[in-house]
Amino acid sequence: MQIALVGIGKIAVDQHVPSIAASPDWELAATVSRHGTVEGVAAYTQLSEMLDAHPEIRVVSLCVPPVPRFALAAEAIRAGRHVMLEKPPGATLSECHTLEALARQHRVTLYASWHSREAAMVPAAKAWLADKKLTRFTVTWKEDVRRWHPGQAWIWQPGGLGVFDPGINALSIVTEILPDPIHLTAATLEVPENCQAPIGAQLAFAHPTAQVDMVFDWRQTGDQTWEIEAETTQGTLKLLDGGARLQIDGSEQGEDADALKGEYPRLYANLARLVARGEIDMDLAPMRHVADAFTLGHRSLTEPFHE
């Protein structure tokens, strides 16, 4: 199937373009971007121009920042195209619900993709936890914003999410592997004096049997930390390297894998199945927790951020 990629920035170049190129399901047939292009692929600066020029391209993958994404997604859906949304699927929950209703009205596929759920050991972690009684659950998600988001000023503006841009990756895994639902009870958001979005967050959640705490931080230097630990009455599980590695009671499960390898190829395989079946996947559970943090969180000003 032919697909168009909208927004040729770092994540598109690093993940989407190579994943599409390696896929047996997809052919990158057009791009839409104000600045970026892909060699040998038809390039446009406006989505409307691409839609008019290529009625044969039935699928659009959106890699633009969250705030402008709604208008582009709605335009593509109204043109009868299937749409894949980078995470988070939008700037607000309400606009995501609107997009889903619009997709159902126009009978097209809409896919809210969560790439961290596709990490190698997430399914195994979910299976192991399914019949366990949880007593304590901790998430430590610390990385270097300068390394992963160089020059991306939009992440510090309203709708950019700040540290919840990576933090929502952790939440996407948590909401996939936990058999019982959780909800936020308290949060502290550390906001740089010159920014609108947090650079750090400490979160506490209610759970039927366990204490659940999470720490997100965008100031980590050196080794990056993407860890989830679940203590149960039958042992302890650790998901390491963003879900690429799994330990049960200290014993490594499966083979070591690159933390990012395979996630985006699996997203595009999921998209192909959804389009073939005419289905919609708009799970917004990770985004609900982020919205709750912004609603309930205590804001604490911290030193200005300068790249």
| DSSP assigned state of 174 | H
Please, which residues have CB within 8 angstroms of residue 174's CB and are 6 or more apart in sequence?
Answer: 137, 139, 182, 214, 228, 286
Ramachandran angles phi, psi of 240, nearest 5°: -120, 160
The closest alpha carbon to 127, from 11, 262, 254, belongs to 254
Rounded to the nearest angstrom, the gap between the alpha carbon of residue 283 and the centroid of all alpha carbons in its chain is 11
The answer to whether the beta carbons of residues 20 and 32 sit under 8 Å apart is no
Is 126 known to be catalytic? no
d(C-alpha 160, C-alpha 168), whole Å: 12
d(C-alpha 298, C-alpha 30), whole Å: 44
- What's the burial of 157, exposed, middle or buried (CB within 10 Å: 0-12/13-18/19+)? middle
The 3-state secondary structure of 118-162, one letter per residue:
HCCCHHHHHHHHCCCCEEEEEEEEECEHHHHCCCCHHHHCCCCCC
Ramachandran angles phi, psi of 152, nearest 5°: -100, 80
In the three-class reduction of DSSP (H, G, I as helix; E, B as strand; rest coil), residue 280 is classed as coil
- What's the burial of 127, exposed, middle or buried (CB within 10 Å: 0-12/13-18/19+)? exposed
d(C-alpha 44, C-alpha 280), whole Å: 27
d(C-alpha 80, C-alpha 74), whole Å: 10
Catalytic residue chosen out of the listed positions 10, 87, 132, 133: 87
Structure tokens at 57: 């391209």
Task: Tell me the catalytic residues.
Answer: 87
